[in-house]
Amino acid sequence: MIPAAFAYRRAESVAEAIELLAEYGDEAKLLAGGHSLLPIMKFRLAAPSVVIDLGGVGGLDYIRADGDEIAIGALTRHVDLETSAELGAAVPLLRHAASVVGDCQIRHRGTIGGSVAHGDPAADLPSALMALRGTVVVEGPSGRREIPIDDFYLGFLETALGPDEVLVEVRVPRRGDRPWGFQKFRRRSIDWAIVGVAYQSEDGGGGIGLVNMGPTTLRAATAEAALRGAAAPDDVAQLADADADPIGDASATPEYRRHLARVLLARALAGGAST
Ligand SMILES: Cc1cc2nc3c(=O)[nH]c(=O)nc-3n(C[C@H](O)[C@H](O)[C@H](O)COP(=O)(O)OP(=O)(O)OC[C@H]3O[C@@H](n4cnc5c(N)ncnc54)[C@H](O)[C@@H]3O)c2cc1C
């Protein structure tokens, strides 16, 4: 449980972090809350020779209104999402998803940028971004670019972030007064989801994101199409797993995960938020 030796560098700005990434290339990993990076380093699943700490970068922890969207800085911690009245009013789905991440200690260290950048299909916040059709803003040597969440996840722990890019912001549309649901099935209240479903109503249909139903966070595109076609909620829920490819592990067989996705989507469509 002791990570391989690494050099530690602390960036004081996004520009400095980008310079350090350019200098060290594939050898380097950014450190935000450390609650995904450090465990995989301890298990020796990652062995960066340089860790670039973003802890000194100011100005990346914010939740602010920007036109029809809410912009959230990458270093905003889960607890700040969970306790934000502004986020609760504008995007209650995202606030709720943050409130069910791990336990209190994890929510006080983990950041939205780290959660999204890590690319773990079992993570909660990316599924909410999928349901909300959010956008990820990244910055690199040639400036900023915006990546729709649908284009961000490429494979297991693999994203569209370039090796010299920093995730700086997440943007989601305001959806305050519309129905939403978030269902997370787990054995103990502090666990990762065995399966999770995020649902957000929108004009003419809704967005549906799936947790732990494949190698990446997934969109339930077939169920969304049925929603747009005004199918009955129970019929939509039966399509929850149509685009999924869940694994079997010690927690659940693939068949059980498919069953859970259908049950959880029915509950989410009814406006249910699990605790
Ligand atoms: C016991 C335990 C239980 C947990 N349970 C849950 C759970 O139930 N649900 C859930 O969703 N999560 C859970 N987590 C994960 C937790 O939410 C993490 O904090 C989060 O996934 C990663 O955020 P972080 O800020 O800690 O990132 P870090 O661990 O610091 O970084 C994670 C990865 O993202 C990269 N990265 C970080 N920030 C940036 C950035 N700004 N730009 C580019 N790359 C970046 C890092 O280089 C690294 O590869 C759990 C973690 C633990 C240890």
Percentage, residues of the chain above pLDDT 70: 100
Q: What is the pLDDT of residue 161?
A: 97
How many angstroms does the Cα of residue 239 sit away from the middle of ligand 1? 30
Cα 227 to averaged position of ligand 1 atoms, centre (Å): 32
Whole-angstrom CA distances from 218 to 128, 136, 147 are 11, 16, 16
Say yes or no: 117 and 137 in one domain. Answer: yes
Query: Does pLDDT of 272 surpass 80?
Result: no
Residue 58 lies in a domain: no
One domain for residues 47 and 74: no
pLDDT at 253 over 90: yes
The protein residue with its alpha carbon nearest to ligand 1, atom 47, reads 30
Residue 215 shares a structural domain with residue 256: yes
For residue 224, what pLDDT is reported? 98
Final residue of a structural domain among 133, 151, 173:
173
Nearest Cα to 210, choosing from 234, 230, 190, 183? 183
Same domain, 110 and 75: yes
- Is residue 274 over pLDDT 80? no
Q: Is the CB of 248 under 6 A from ligand 1?
A: no
Same domain, 87 and 124: yes
- Global pTM reads 0.97
The tens digit of pLDDT for each residue in 169-200 reads 999 999 988 999 999 999 998 899 999 999 99
Centre of ligand 1 from the C-alpha of residue 112, in Å = 8
* Domain tally, the chain: 3
Contacts of 77 by beta carbon, 8 Å cutoff, 6+ apart: 33, 61, 107, 108, 109, 110, 111, 112
Distance (angstroms) between ligand 1 centre and the Cα of 145 equals 22
Q: What is the domain-level CATH number for residue 134?
A: 3.30.465.10
Which residue, by CA, sits nearest to atom 52 of ligand 1?
35
Eight-class DSSP state of 111: B
Within this chain, do residues 75 and 17 fall inside the same structural domain, yes or no?
A: no
User: Which of 8, 18, 36 for a ligand 1 pocket mutation test, highest count of atoms within 8 Å of Cβ?
Assistant: 36
* pLDDT for 148: 98
Q: Give the domain range for residue 215.
A: 180-269
Distance 115 CA to ligand 1 centre (A): 4
> What is the length of the chain?
275
Q: Is the CB of 74 inside a 6 Å radius of any atom of ligand 1?
A: yes
